[in-house]
Amino acid sequence: MDKSVIRFNHCDKDIFCFFVPDQCPECGVSFSGKRLEEAPVSIPNPFSNGHKVPCAFLVASTEDNVLRDFDGRSDLHTGITNTNGIVYNYTKAGVQREHQGWERCICVPLVQPDMFSLMSQWDQYLEKFSSAQMWDPLWQSFNEETHNCYSYTLTFINCVLATQSKRALSKDEFTQSFVLPRIKRASKYMMLCREISQNHFYIVDSPRRNSQESPSEDEDSKSN
Ligand SMILES: [Zn+2]
């Protein structure tokens, strides 16, 4: 399980840790009986259990370096959940329907909660799409570059967009706007966990001292 990461500020530093220490690791001042100037902020965990996120696009988390290098055709595995959290994903053996194995994922919900009609047809769409010849290994075989799990998920997303009379997304558009920002956040979160596990703290100069504008760090502004 992931521990949750928090951040507090002292000595003009951002200090990331799993729990607020008794004293500042930078200046040594004791916190006991005192209150920090600003309450510690918890950093949202970018991973969730894909089987509990219906109608979503999933990226299975793997090694950190694989996440960092993701370019839409790497080894990363992607899938789509139905309304019951079964993960449809395309492999060399064809489309798999999995009840487990996607417990730690980056999840991108694809349906707004008020889109009842889309939601009610979702499972049918997904099943029909997955039964199409193009995903039948006897008909067209898996190709690492051009016919892989990512093309399966993106093609499905574009079919759904078409039913909503919306424009299709190119692979680059989808990767740049939906996948990479989340992978970046997940990768940073894993780096924080690793650093804190090893050194108890991860300390950086606080960027907020110089500008009072909104913090640019992505973990502050978004959460799933
Ligand atoms: Zn300090």
Output the CA 174–ligand 1 centroid distance in Å: 42
The token pair that represents 30 in the structure block: 């004791």
Output the CA 193–ligand 1 centroid distance in Å: 21
Domain identity same for 87 and 158? yes
Distance CA 190, CA 185 (A): 9
Output the CA 37–ligand 1 centroid distance in Å: 11
Distance CA 125, CA 88 (A): 12
Output the CA 131–ligand 1 centroid distance in Å: 60
Output the CA 199–ligand 1 centroid distance in Å: 17
Distance CA 187, CA 9 (A): 22
Domain identity same for 217 and 175? no
Q: How far apart are the first and last CA of the chain?
A: 18
Judging by beta carbons within 10 Å of its beta carbon (0-12, 13-18, 19+), is residue 128 exposed, middle or buried?
exposed
Domain identity same for 102 and 207? no
Domain identity same for 83 and 114? yes
For residue 126, what are the domain limits?
Answer: 50-180
Among 23, 10, 46, CA closest to 208: 10
Among 15, 56, 77, CA closest to 208: 15
What letter does residue 137 receive in the DSSP assignment? T
Distance CA 82, CA 126 (A): 7
Output the CA 135–ligand 1 centroid distance in Å: 58
Question: Residue 61 has what pLDDT?
Answer: 65
Q: Where are the alpha helices (DSSP H) in 102-148?
A: 116-130
Question: Residue 208 has what pLDDT?
Answer: 67
Domain identity same for 211 and 100? no
Q: Which residue has the tokens 């003009």?
A: 12
**Angle, helix 116-130 to helix 149-163, in steps of 10 degrees:** 140
Assigned domain for 191 exists: no
Output the CA 203–ligand 1 centroid distance in Å: 11
Distance CA 13, CA 215 (A): 14
Encode the chain (224 residues) as per-residue pLDDT tens digits: 567 899 999 999 999 999 999 999 999 999 887 777 778 999 999 999 999 999 999 998 655 545 555 544 456 789 999 999 999 999 999 999 999 999 989 999 999 888 899 999 999 999 999 999 999 988 888 888 788 899 999 999 999 999 999 999 999 999 999 888 998 888 888 889 999 999 999 999 998 655 544 444 444 444 44
Domain identity same for 65 and 30? no
Output the CA 223–ligand 1 centroid distance in Å: 28
Output the CA 34–ligand 1 centroid distance in Å: 13
Among 112, 109, 153, CA closest to 130: 153
Domain identity same for 70 and 90? yes
Cβ atoms within 10 A of the Cβ of 185, count?
21
State which residues have CB under 5 angstroms from ligand 1, the bound ion: 10-11, 24, 26-27
Assigned domain for 185 exists: no
Domain identity same for 18 and 96? no
Whether 216 and 185 have beta carbons less than 8 Å apart is answered as: no
Output the CA 214–ligand 1 centroid distance in Å: 23
